[in-house]
Amino acid sequence: MVVRLSSSLLLLGLSAAVLVARAVRYGTSLEKPPPSAPPQIERDAAAQRLARALRCRTLSDFDPQRVDREPFERLRHVLEESFPLVHQHLKREQVADLSLLYTWPGREPELQPILLMAHQDVVPVEPGTEGDWKHSPFGGEIAEGFVWGRGALDMKSALTGIFEAVELLLKEGFTPRRTIYFALGHDEEVGGFQGNARIAALLAERGERLEFVLDEGGLIVEGVIPGLRRPVALVGTAEKGFVNFILSARGEGGHSAMPPRRTAVGALSRALMRLERSPFPLRIEFVSEMFRHLGRRLPFAMRLFFANLVLFGPAAARMLAKNPKINSNLRTTLAPTMLRGGVKENVLATDVSAVVNVRILPGETIASTVSRMERIIADPAVKITPTPGTEPSAVSPIETPAFTLLRRTILEVAGEVEVAPYLVVGATDSRYYAHLTNRIYRFMCIPMAPGDIPRLHGTNERISVDDYVRSIAFYHRLIVNSEDL
């Protein structure tokens, strides 16, 4: 008995030692380059040029006929006046009328080109909230160390930041080794169906294959990753699919004083309740890859979990799913966003519907999502109709020279940050280039504190002048570093 107990305790001790040893070794250990010398950027002049771009009310629309062309044409003239060397040395093409494709020819045209992306359009200001803005949303004001206005973050600062970097490099006499494309869509906020979709098709017609694509989607965050206090540069290596489902139910009409046993409103309500009570299954692979890159900086308890996912995986997933931001990286999510039905409070509704917005995890599909929703609702009286949507993207590899280049550039410019891949829960226009490369990354070198996140598409959007200058330095360094690619 004593021998058996001793053996069991020894085995338990050895198992614990293995788990602890794995936790100690957990995470990547990559060499960090020293910071690079920043380029000589005219800080105030650069901020003024961004402010001019923000004054252009470039609003896109699902109906191209309703788009006001004048602000887009004005933005084009602002770019021409602000960046004369860019427009002297680069070729500019107008695609789908308002989108722009710039080409900077490389010294070795046989090499696969790089594509950098930004979009011209911005989301409108929610009616009734104009008075909540500290500075006019389309005033392009510079105050308190910030440039204020719609598009300051999403994403005219990237658009003009790229051109600031190129203009500076042209002044320095630089010519890239690889050809570089700059794709500036005009309708990203409404799906990019005209702009970048057409630019990608044009490049495909010309037989292009791209070395890598860089778009928006990732940022430098702080106070967002559980257990980590250091800032983290999150580089999107994949993005969720998205689709809106229309759930509809029909029922008998008539007076509400004499209701039938089942009503259309009741059927639809039960369907929505069942969906919310039966979330999609947790999958931890995307989050675990992110944490693997952060492993050496995590608290020991989290390292113990993630170093031993075979044992602790389900528990770790359930723990992380309690955080809504992390939960969105762990599963396909759905959210009812709109309801319609009924004409009067004492009349039975005959036709009711709801819009359910679904963000689909890579590895799943729109079709598999429909099948699961049908099984959960289990009511033939409720019809599920998907609207046109986008399938999840493929996952871009990180063991590539392109990702290494991106990581190196971030560390050289942003300094004391960690770099990790992650899953973008929104959608970007980069998905249109998937047939031209499997190396699509999503990142802007802008820090984002939790309190700043509501400014994206929200009130008081702004970027600090310091952060904007750093963003320019990032694009400048990325282009210079691409010489080694």
- Evaluate whether residue 130 is within a structural domain: yes
Q: Specify which residues 255 forms β-bridges with.
A: 347
Residue type, position 92, single letter? R
Contact criterion met (CB below 8 Å) for 196 and 188? yes
Domain count, the chain: 3
Residue type, position 135, single letter? H
Confidence of residue 453 (pLDDT cuts 50, 70, 90): confident
| Pairing verdict, β 99-104 and 462-464 | unpaired
364-399: pLDDT as tens digits: 999 999 999 999 999 998 999 998 888 999 999 999
- Evaluate whether residue 19 is within a structural domain: no
**Pair (360, 380) in one structural domain:** yes
Contact criterion met (CB below 8 Å) for 341 and 352? yes
Lowest-pLDDT range of 50-64, 168-182, 301-315: 301-315
Closest to 476 in 3D by CA, of 135, 59, 176, 82: 176
Buried b (16+ CB within 10 A) or exposed e, 34-51: eebeebebeeeebbebbb
Mean pLDDT to the nearest integer, 290-297: 76
**Pair (248, 117) in one structural domain:** no
Contact criterion met (CB below 8 Å) for 156 and 462? no
Is 0.75 surpassed by the pTM of this model?
A: yes
Residue 306 has pLDDT above 80, yes or no: no
Report the catalytic residues: 121, 188
Domain closes at, from 361, 391, 421:
391
350-363: pLDDT as tens digits: 888 999 999 999 99
Mean pLDDT to the nearest integer, 431-435: 96
The pLDDT value recorded for residue 9 is 46
Residue 5 has pLDDT above 60, yes or no: no
Q: Specify which residues 250 forms β-bridges with.
A: 351
Q: Which domain holds residue 318?
A: 282-330
Residue 153 has pLDDT above 90, yes or no: yes
Confidence of residue 437 (pLDDT cuts 50, 70, 90): very high
What SS3 class is residue 455? helix
Task: Please identify which residue in the block is written with the tokens 């099984």.
Answer: 375
**Pair (151, 249) in one structural domain:** no
**Pair (430, 479) in one structural domain:** yes
Give the whole-angstrom CA distance, residue 33 versus residue 407: 10
**Pair (291, 415) in one structural domain:** no
**Pair (170, 57) in one structural domain:** yes
- Per-chain mean pLDDT for the chain: 88
Name the percent of the chain lying above pLDDT 70.
Answer: 88
**Pair (475, 349) in one structural domain:** no
Question: Which has more pLDDT, 82 or 307?
Answer: 82
Confidence of residue 26 (pLDDT cuts 50, 70, 90): low
**Pair (228, 170) in one structural domain:** yes
Phi and psi, residue 180, nearest 5°: -120, 130
Task: Please identify which residue in the block is written with the tokens 């955080």.
Answer: 323
Question: Which has more pLDDT, 183 or 265?
Answer: 183
Residue 186 has pLDDT above 50, yes or no: yes
The pLDDT value recorded for residue 318 is 74
DSSP code of 231? -
- Evaluate whether residue 23 is within a structural domain: no
33-70: pLDDT as tens digits: 777 778 889 999 999 999 999 999 999 998 889 999 99
**Pair (358, 384) in one structural domain:** yes
100-142: pLDDT as tens digits: 999 999 999 999 999 999 999 999 998 989 889 999 999 999 9
**Pair (55, 171) in one structural domain:** yes
- CATH value at residue 98: 3.40.630.10
